[in-house]
Amino acid sequence: MKKRLLAFTSALVLLLASLTGCGGGEGAKDSGDTPEKTMTDVTLNEVAHSIFYAPMYVAIEEGYFEQEGINLTLVTGFGAI
């Protein structure tokens, strides 16, 4: 009986702990409700064009960097430091 009660209590605590990150805080607001963000200029130097950078290319094309206030300039260094 004690083992079942301990297992149930542990499961309940783990469930409640996992749900604490699901609250609708300030980040859950619509982008229309927030004032304009100041854009931060960032220059990113990639070593070479590669399929390994595909997630970054998709993020650039989908505008994720602009949504986060980043004005990204992508430069290819071709192995240069």
Structural domain total, the chain: 1
pLDDT for residue 80 is more than 90 = no
Residue 41 lies in a domain: yes
Strands (E) across 7-77 are located at 40-46, 70-76
Residue 17 lies in a domain: no
pLDDT for residue 41 is more than 90 = yes
Residue 54 lies in a domain: yes
pLDDT for residue 28 is more than 70 = no
pLDDT for residue 57 is more than 70 = yes
Give the pLDDT band (50/70/90) at residue 31. low
Residue 79 lies in a domain: yes
Q: How many CA atoms lie within 13 A of 41 on its CB side?
A: 0
Residue 80 lies in a domain: yes
Domain that holds residue 62: 36-81
pTM: predicted TM-score of the whole model, two decimal places: 0.50
pLDDT for residue 27 is more than 90 = no
- Cα separation, 59 vs 10, whole angstroms: 39
Q: Are 51 and 21 in contact (CB under 8 A)?
A: no
Residue 50 lies in a domain: yes
